[in-house]
Amino acid sequence: MTTSVLSQPTLVLNRSWVAIDTTTVLGAMRLLFKGSAVAIAPESYETHGFHSWADLAVEPHEPHIRTPRWRIRVPEIIALTCYDKVPRRTVAFTRRNLFERDRRSCQYCGCRPGTAELTIDHVLPRSRGGLSSWRNCVLACVDCNRRKADRTPAEAHMHLLREPVAPDWRPTLDVPLGRMRQSWQKFVSDRYWDTALEP
């Protein structure tokens, strides 16, 4: 067994086959061995317990785990046998998610000048206690941000086109693109960026 294979990611589905998390191959093998999960063959979506998974033939090019007794295919997807809930998640407050929420447009004048010409504006300025949060941050073009300056929109005689709120979370698991396996595409969305905004 090589450490690099054991540390590769495995997608975890709940009992209803909704993606809820990732684990390592080692963690997946532990769940399979305990009977807490079944492995899913990506090409056929057949499910296998530990022993039937271990008995599957391994192609020479396939990544596998070698033990004194078996050569075992790396499980890319597992489904938990008892857990059927979806963990509660919120949309991460990140720069990209803010651009997605505000549709890459200025929330004061509605223009769409391009990403490089948009800034993040604090509705209540940070110098006056305004926090970096979904309810206090909006995109603003350079001209509107300069015009508003260190004031509230009311003080600057400006109006927000939409009230800033946290976007609704959709029940999909977000995985960094570098860790995504091709076999996961039916289960996972790459809708959001992962980089958190500074508080």
Query: pLDDT by residue (tens digit) across 51-76?
Result: 999 999 888 888 888 888 888 999 99
93 compared with 195, residue with greater pLDDT: 93
46 and 69, same domain (yes or no): yes
**Per-residue pLDDT tens digits for 13-58:** 999 888 888 899 999 999 999 999 999 998 899 999 999 999 998 8
**Residues near 183 by beta carbon (within 8 Å), at least 6 away in sequence:** 11, 42, 76, 77
Ramachandran category for residue 124: left, alpha or beta (phi over 0 → left; psi -120 to 50 → alpha)? beta
Q: What is the CATH number of the domain that holds 131?
A: 1.10.30.50
In a shared domain, residues 18 and 80: yes
Find the length of the chain: 199
Give the pLDDT confidence of 128-154 residue by residue, as tens digits.
Answer: 999 999 999 999 999 999 999 999 999
Residue 21 belongs to domain spanning: 3-87
Short-list 169, 171, 129, CA closest to 150: 129
pTM given for the model: 0.54
18: tokens are 């909704």
Cβ neighbours for 16, distance < 8 A, ≥ 6 positions apart: 84
The mean per-residue pLDDT over the stretch 114-126 comes to 95
pLDDT value, residue 87: 62
| Mean pLDDT (whole number) for 91-104 | 89
How many separate domains does the chain show?
A: 2
Work out the average pLDDT over 122-131: 95
In a domain, residue 20? The reply is yes
